[in-house]
């Protein structure tokens, strides 16, 4: 029944949008639905050129529904770690420029692993901060920004933050989304994961990762994903009643660990035979799949709420994205480490390889996007900043920061439009979970241009080159076979890092900075 309702309502929305019979409010409503740690293939919607066994593992009917409504992007990218992505989203800056290059939590504390070879730079481990703060705590190892929610707020939008924030350390202004232009903050703070998804455990109350602001659900048999969705829908009723344009940042903690049992869905997956693994799903994998399905239900509930008011839905843009690649390590995920979890891409969260940075992305813009279409325009996370402001019709604004994002609004309006651009990742850090440089972890920078992806490892000065069009799994290193391409990309990457004043690690033994990708000092 839901699918029939969705098809009928989608046709109605298209009709309303096409005739201009939408609410008097001129500016569109905007919903950004961001999932945490979701791999590009953790869905029944294929984001590769063909369906894979991973797509068959999951039930995500509402992602399928959104894909049928709008456009699916097959080359969307983010940083490999959460906080850098979220800071790029909020600021429009590449991570090389804003310098929040690893995940943040406690004030004045790095979250890096240690090394006997390289000394990591003094990156901005206190996160991003509101533009006009003068508090001493906010000014140390941080970047002040004018956030796009603040700009939307200044242009008449009612702005709602719901879920994970994770762009400012505890004790700073940036830890609280309400300082970044949000009228409402539901459950957002410095924590990058929930202490627990379970209302019966008070969502991790008392732990470093407790989710605040949902005390009314404490002790109840409710999953965090469901509680956040209910609160988001309740918050939307206020701007809708006033016909005020709204921006909802639906930023789920799902599907980040811990893999607590969402009993609404887990029995379907528990011990279910999986084609890719040639084995039954283990308990962790069943719980992970249930987290994915619970996230999908949230998307469906939001779409249902909007479609129950067709005039609102006909004027509401929905964007779907994940913040980094899915976990690729088998300490939490089943299967061959760095191979099965984000197949056919290699590795996962924290890695320079495609499995760490390639994301599921969809956009529905009533009256603009073509239903059921596919787009291969490359998009990087900082591109959402100028795109959303352009969608909102905000043309005149200023920021205290230099922005790097490129709007893809014109691509949505005209699918034949393409921006040929390089994408750069910069991670001069050491992720705490693994330092396996063979699988793309450790301190690195990389660049994607045309068919080729160059990865540079700061500690060893190794350059690796892959043709990602022909070799999405990045198994065949071409650096020695095609040295001219490797050299050209190394120069371009170096020029970009220098232009953004990007930080570099130094060698402990000599105190000298590690050479740039092109070998220069």
DSSP line for 163-194 = E---SB-TTSGGGSGGGGT-SEEES-SS-SS-
Residue 452 lies in a domain: no
168 secondary structure, DSSP code: B
Residue 104 lies in a domain: yes
Interval 458-515: pLDDT, tens: 999 999 999 999 999 999 999 999 999 999 999 999 999 999 999 999 999 999 999 9
Give phi and psi for 144, each to the nearest 5: -85, 135
Residue 416 sits in which domain range?
2-356+380-423
Interval 397-447: pLDDT, tens: 999 999 999 999 999 999 999 999 999 999 999 999 999 999 999 999 999
Interval 101-126: pLDDT, tens: 999 999 999 999 999 999 999 999 99
pTM: 0.95
C-alpha–C-alpha distance, residues 223 and 226, integer Å: 5
Residue 429 lies in a domain: no
270 secondary structure, DSSP code: T
Which residues are paired to 162 by β-bridges?
186, 250
Residue 10 lies in a domain: yes
The predicted pLDDT at position 26 comes to 87
Residue 298 lies in a domain: yes
Whether the per-residue pLDDT at 82 is higher than 50: the answer is: yes
Q: What are the CA-CA distances from residue 242 to residues 120, 236, 238, 310, 312 (Å)?
A: 50, 10, 7, 16, 12
Smallest CA-to-CA distance from 174 within 98, 235, 116 is with 98
Residue 375 lies in a domain: no
Q: Into how many domains does the chain fold?
A: 1
Residue 459 lies in a domain: no
For residue 77, the domain's CATH number is 3.40.720.10
| Higher per-residue pLDDT: 17 or 480 | 480
Residue 368 lies in a domain: no
Angle among Cα 90, 112, 352 to the nearest 5 degrees reads 65
């Amino acid at each position: 029944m839901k699918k029939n309702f969705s098809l009928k309502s989608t046709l109605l929305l298209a009709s309303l949008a096409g005739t201009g019979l939408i609410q008097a409010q001129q500016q569109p409503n905007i919903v950004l639905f961001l999932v945490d740690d979701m791999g590009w293939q953790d869905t029944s919607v294929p984001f590769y050129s063909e369906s894979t066994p991973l797509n068959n593992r999951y039930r995500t009917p509402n992602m399928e529904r959104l894909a049928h409504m709008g456009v699916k992007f097959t080359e969307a990218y983010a940083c490999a770690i959460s906080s850098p992505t979220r800071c790029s989203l909020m600021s429009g800056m590449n991570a090389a420029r804003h310098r929040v290059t690893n995940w943040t939590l406690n004030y004045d504390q790095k979250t890096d692993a240690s090394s006997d070879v390289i000394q990591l730079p003094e990156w901005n481990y206190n996160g991003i901060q509101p533009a006009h703060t003068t508090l001493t705590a906010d000014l140390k190892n941080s970047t002040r920004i004018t956030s796009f929610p603040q700009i939307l707020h200044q242009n008449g939008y009612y702005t709602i933050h719901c879920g994970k924030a994770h762009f400012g350390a505890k004790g700073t202004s940036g830890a609280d989304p309400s300082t970044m232009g949000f009228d409402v903050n539901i459950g957002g703070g410095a924590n990058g994961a929930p202490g627990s998804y379970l209302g019966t455990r008070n969502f991790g109350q008392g732990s470093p990762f407790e989710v605040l602001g949902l005390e009314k659900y404490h002790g109840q048999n409710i999953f965090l994903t469901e509680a956040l969705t209910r609160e988001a829908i309740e918050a939307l009723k206020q701007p809708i009643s006033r016909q005020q344009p709204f921006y909802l940042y639906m930023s789920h903690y799902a599907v980040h660990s811990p893999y607590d049992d969402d009993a609404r869905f887990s029995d379907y997956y528990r011990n279910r035979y999986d084609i890719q693994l040639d084995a039954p799903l283990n308990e962790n994998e069943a719980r992970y799949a249930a987290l994915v399905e619970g996230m999908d239900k949230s998307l469906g509930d939001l779409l249902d709420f909007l479609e129950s008011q067709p005039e609102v839905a006909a004027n509401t843009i929905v964007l779907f994205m994940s913040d980094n690649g899915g976990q690729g390590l088998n300490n939490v995920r089943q299967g061959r480490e760095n191979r099965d979890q984000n197949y056919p891409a290699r590795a996962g969260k924290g890695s320079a390889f495609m499995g760490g940075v390639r994301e599921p992305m969809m956009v529905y813009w009533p009256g603009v996007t073509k239903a059921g279409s596919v787009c291969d325009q490359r998009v990087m996370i900082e591109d959402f900043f100028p795109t959303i402001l352009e969608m909102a019709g905000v043309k005149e604004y200023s920021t205290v920061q230099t922005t790097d994002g490129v709007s893809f609004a014109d691509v949505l309006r005209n699918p034949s439009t393409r921006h040929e651009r390089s994408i750069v990742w910069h991670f001069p850090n050491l992720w705490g979970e693994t330092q396996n440089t063979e699988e793309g972890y450790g301190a690195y920078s990389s660049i994607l241009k045309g068919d080729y992806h160059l990865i540079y490892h700061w500690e060893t000065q190794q350059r690796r080159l892959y043709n990602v069009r022909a070799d999405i799994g990045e198994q065949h290193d071409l650096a020695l076979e095609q040295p001219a391409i490797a050299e050209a990309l190394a120069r371009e990457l170096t020029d970009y890092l220098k232009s953004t004043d990007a930080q570099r690690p130094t060698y402990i033994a000599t105190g000298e900075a590690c050479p740039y990708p092109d070998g220069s000092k």
